[in-house]
Amino acid sequence: MFEIGKIPPQILEKLVLEPVTHSKIQRNDIVVRPKTGEDCSAIDPQGELCVFSTDPITGATKDAGYLAVHINCNDVFSSGAEPVGILMTVLLPKNSDEKDLEVLTKGTLEAAAEVGIEILGGHTEVTDAVNKPVIAATIIGKTKNRNMICTSGAKVGQDVVMTKWAGLEGTVIIAQEYETQLQNVVPKTILEEAKSYKGFLSVGKEAKIAVEHGATAMHDATEGGILGAVWEVAECSGLGVTVFADNIPLTEATQSICKNAEIDPLLLISSGTMVITAFDGQALVEKLQKAGVQAAVIGKITEKEKLIQKNGTEKTLQQPVSDALYQVKFRQV
């Protein structure tokens, strides 16, 4: 069991630095890599724009390292850029041991290999300030031909397209964190399907297709879910939007899990789901589906009001307050 404080260098070398520096991803644009005592890494962006973003993982304990990599990479993908490397600060609670750190590192490297980035460094310690693993990560990316797409780029008259299904990441988290409770209320096949959504958390493929189509705004649907992401795109662009809620794709597994957790899947954290604004959204949907990415037109960018249409009624689309993940009713055991 670890003592409170920084992870001992010999343990850090064995469980983190050795696997990181010998991973199968070795990019040419990384010029200084992490090692004990080295405070900084370095990249050579070769004349491109460097794109930075940061996000924590606080709502999950299982697969926290894996999730941290993907949700941060998704922010860079959403800017139309390519993720290059990631820095991670890992805070472990008291009573953590080598197995905990080994599992976290394995998940981190698995996700990094999937998106083709390197771990550039960070900080790892045990502290009584947290009661479960907390990861804060910073992702570094680079543009192609210095082109960058911003969340604020939506234009009046564009279609709002979403990829995959609403509540994607949240479904994975709930299925893993509350597996014992769910085993009693949902079929095993549903639970296993929900956990398998882990393989859909990257938005790299759809980002590339959307950029080629001419998308002017892209946004990863994180906290606040799909409705929160659409609201943020409209707000950031200084425009309105009408959401066609009946068009939002939902899987049977997400609907079943959210029903039992007594939460709204449209307000559930949904990393892996991208919101895109573009003209001729249906053509974009067809391109995405041809590439094997589920997609649907779920709204229209307008001049002023933010509205949502559902079951034949229309009302104001509200700013999200708290993610549905934090409103799950059953307790962890």
Could you report the per-residue pLDDT of 239-283, keeping only the tens digit for each? Answer: 999 999 999 999 999 999 999 999 999 999 999 999 999 999 999
Query: Which of the pair, 2 or 266, is modelled with greater confidence?
Result: 266
Give me Rg for the CA atoms of the chain: 20
pLDDT exceeds 80 at position 117: yes
Which pLDDT value is given to residue 184?
86
Q: What pLDDT does 333 receive?
A: 47
CA 133 – CA 140 distance, rounded (Å): 23
User: Which structure tokens are listed for 295?
Assistant: 């997609």
Cβ atoms of 49 and 144 within 8 Å: the answer is: no
Two structure tokens written together for 260: 């039992």
Give the Cβ contact number of residue 187 at 10 Å: 12
Q: How confident is the model at residue 60 (pLDDT cuts 50, 70, 90)?
A: confident
- Element housing 267 (H / E): none
> What's phi and psi for 214, nearest 5 deg?
110, 25
| % of the chain beyond a pLDDT of 70 | 98
Q: Average of pLDDT values for 215-242?
A: 95
Instruction: Give backbone dihedrals phi and psi of 3, rounded to 5 degrees, phi first.
Output: -80, 160
pTM of the model: 0.89
3-state secondary structure of 159: strand
Using alpha carbons, list the distances in angstroms from residue 306 to 15, 100, 245, 265, 321.
49, 44, 13, 19, 16
Spell out the alpha helix ranges (H) of the chain.
Answer: 9-12, 18-21, 64-77, 98-115, 168-177, 179-182, 188-196, 204-213, 225-237, 252-261, 281-290
pLDDT above 90: percentage of residues in the chain: 75
Q: What is the DSSP string of 90-152?
A: EEEPTT--HHHHHHHHHHHHHHHHHHT-EEEEEEEEE-TT-SS-EEEEEEEEE-BTTB---GG
